[in-house]
């Protein structure tokens, strides 16, 4: 039920460099929409059980940083630092 409520609000623009969202489901064309509307060039995936739609990312020249994190647990400090470095590489 929660996921179905989010279909219209799958992601949120935080600022000019960060768009925060849920699982980028390939069958819903979310990666394509994010790339087209926001010129997404990098994705930080913190989903432990899903590496993401890697083939679609490759086709669109989107780089993914996979930081597998168990649901309901915080990422490590090292992962957060790595994510910040990754984001800074794509700042406009």
Residue 6 has what pLDDT? Answer: 54
Q: Residue 73 and residue 92: Cα distance in Å, rounded?
A: 31
The answer for residues whose C-beta is within 8 angstroms of residue 34's C-beta and 6 or more apart is: 11, 19, 21, 24, 40
Residue 28 has what pLDDT? Answer: 78
Q: Residue 22 and residue 6: Cα distance in Å, rounded?
A: 9
Assess whether pLDDT exceeds 50 at residue 1: no
Helix (H) or strand (E) holding 65: strand 63-69
Q: Residue 40 and residue 56: Cα distance in Å, rounded?
A: 13
Q: Which of 8-12, 19-23, 60-64 holds the top average pLDDT?
A: 60-64
Structure tokens at 34: 């994010």
Is the entire prediction scored with pTM above 0.85? no
């Amino acid at each position: 039920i929660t996921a179905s409520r989010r279909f219209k609000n799958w992601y949120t623009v935080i600022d000019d460099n960060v768009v925060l969202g849920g699982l980028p489901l390939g069958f819903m064309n979310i990666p394509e929409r994010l790339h087209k509307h926001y010129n997404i060039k990098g994705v930080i995936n913190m989903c432990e059980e899903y590496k993401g739609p890697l083939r679609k990312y490759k086709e669109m020249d989107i780089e993914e940083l996979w930081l597998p994190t168990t649901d309901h647990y915080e990422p490590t400090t090292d992962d957060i630092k790595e994510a910040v470095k990754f984001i800074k590489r794509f700042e406009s």
